[in-house]
């Protein structure tokens, strides 16, 4: 196996675009292992709701692995839904996995739809203070009592540059900017190096963006949501029965709030499916906007259903 063949393949695309099947086809052909770049499939017990690839945990002598079609699928099904996860953790873990895969003489295939994680992985992220839940809650309380504008003004007072870049309505980012500035002791705008944004990802290997024509993707999402809804409802009911709070990080995932509303009788099944489909589509739009920036990615456009042939697409990627 040459060094060239051990270079990673990064496969990006919106939800329901069929990345998993293509990644598996690639792994079969290249003797590869998959690294999932997905902020929600990382959680245990969220399967139907996150379209987690169906697999099983194996405990071979070589080590514990989640296997899908016999292929190790890394960074899925490992985290408790009560735990938080973030881009920094992903970068650290994914880098370790990448090294491990290559050391084993296999080809890493990174597949996922979480653009921020993929970008953080390739561009790196600046050394920033980690999240401080207590501080965040304090700042959120300020926004609740005095308003978002007041919190934004607080940011403007300590870092006018950052305040210009972040709209007052985006309270999450306002809080994060204040958090960094306070914890680091200097303005966040001076800490941002610009390496994360303002640059195309400096990737190694192949860099692929799988893009469906919108109306076709809408049909795929609609079909998939309806098909797995009952299983999704069972899964969610079981989580609540196990004592997981409805607002824990794992359940703060697209669609679960609607499923919870359905379980509570606040939404009918067709209505829940309609709402979930709509927000999945909105999410797909954001994903495509994100990946669309990557002019250095190989674009695979799917404009009819027949275009989706995982084996053929895998061959095309390998030949590129």
Q: Which of 32, 17, 77 is nearest to 318 (CA)?
A: 32
Calpha distance 272→67 (Å, rounded): 32
Please, are residues 34 and 73 in contact by the beta-carbon 8 Å criterion?
Answer: yes
Q: Which residue has the tokens 């370790």?
A: 96
Applying CB under 7 A, does 4 fall inside the site for RNA?
no
Nearer to RNA, 29 or 274 (CB): 274
Six-digit token pair at 18?
């069929």
Region of 45 on the Ramachandran plot (φ > 0 left; ψ -120 to 50 alpha; else beta): left
Applying CB under 7 A, does 200 fall inside the site for RNA?
no
E strands, 156-304, are: 206-212, 298-302
Give least dist CB 2 to RNA, A: 34
Q: Which stretch binds RNA (CB under 7 A): 25-33, 166-174, 265-273, 308-316?
A: 166-174
Nearer to RNA, 195 or 266 (CB): 195
Applying CB under 7 A, does 104 fall inside the site for RNA?
no
Q: How many CB atoms within 10 Å of residue 320? A: 10
Applying CB under 7 A, does 53 fall inside the site for RNA?
no
> Which strands make up the sheet holding 9-13, listed edge to edge?
56-58, 65-68, 71-74, 32-37, 107-112, 9-13, 206-212, 298-302
Nearer to RNA, 105 or 167 (CB): 167
DSSP track, 131-158: P-HHHHHHHHHHHHHH-HHHHHHHHHHH
Q: Which of 70, 104, 167, 245 binds RNA (CB under 7 A)?
A: 167
Applying CB under 7 A, does 66 fall inside the site for RNA?
no
How many residues bind to RNA according to rule CB under 7 A? 62
Nearer to RNA, 105 or 223 (CB): 223
Q: Which of 7, 65, 78, 86 binds RNA (CB under 7 A)?
A: 86
169-188 positions binding RNA, by CB under 7 A: 169-173, 175-176, 180
Applying CB under 7 A, does 306 fall inside the site for RNA?
no
Applying CB under 7 A, does 150 fall inside the site for RNA?
no
Give least dist CB 206 to RNA, A: 21
On the CB side of 262, CA atoms within 13 Å amount to: 23
Measured CA angle at 47 (ends 42, 51), to 5 deg = 90
Q: Which stretch binds RNA (CB under 7 A): 22-30, 58-66, 248-256, 265-273?
A: 248-256
- Find residue 212's DSSP bridge partners: 302
Binding site for RNA (CB under 7 A): 15, 38-41, 49-51, 84-89, 113-117, 120, 125-128, 130-131, 136, 140, 165, 167, 169-173, 175-176, 180, 192-197, 214, 249, 252-255, 278-279, 281-283, 285-287, 289-290, 292-293
């Amino acid at each position: 196996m040459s060094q060239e063949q051990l270079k990673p393949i990064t496969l990006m695309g919106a939800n329901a675009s069929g990345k998993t099947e293509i990644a598996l086809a690639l792994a079969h052909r290249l003797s590869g292992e998959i690294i999932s770049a997905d902020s929600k499939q990382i959680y245990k017990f969220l399967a139907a709701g996150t379209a987690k690839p169906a697999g099983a945990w194996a405990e071979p002598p070589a080590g514990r692995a989640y296997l899908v079609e016999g292929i190790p699928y890394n960074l899925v099904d490992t985290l408790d839904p009560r735990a938080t996860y973030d881009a920094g953790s992903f970068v650290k873990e994914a880098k370790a996995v990448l090294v491990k895969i290559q050391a084993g003489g296999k080809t890493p295939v990174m597949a996922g739809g979480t653009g921020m994680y993929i970008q953080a992985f390739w561009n790196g992220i600046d050394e920033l203070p980690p999240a401080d839940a207590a501080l965040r809650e304090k700042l959120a309380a300020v926004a609740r009592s005095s308003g978002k504008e007041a919190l934004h003004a607080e940011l403007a007072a300590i870092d006018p540059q950052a305040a210009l870049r972040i709209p007052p309505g985006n309270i999450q980012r306002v809080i994060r900017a204040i958090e960094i500035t306070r914890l680091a002791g200097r303005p966040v705008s001076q800490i941002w190096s610009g390496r994360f944004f303002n640059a195309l990802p400096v990737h190694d290997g192949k860099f692929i963006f799988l893009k469906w024509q919108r109306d076709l993707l809408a049909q795929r999402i609609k079909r998939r949501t309806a098909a797995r809804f009952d299983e999704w409802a069972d899964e969610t009911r079981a989580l609540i029965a196990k004592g997981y709070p409805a607002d824990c990080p794992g359940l703060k995932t697209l669609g679960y709030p609607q499923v919870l509303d359905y379980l509570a009788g606040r939404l009918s099944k067709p209505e829940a499916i309609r709402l979930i489909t709509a927000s999945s589509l909105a999410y797909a739009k954001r994903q495509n906007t994100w990946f669309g920036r990557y002019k250095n990615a190989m674009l695979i456009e799917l404009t009819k259903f027949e275009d989706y042939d995982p084996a053929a697409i895998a061959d095309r990627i390998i030949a590129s």
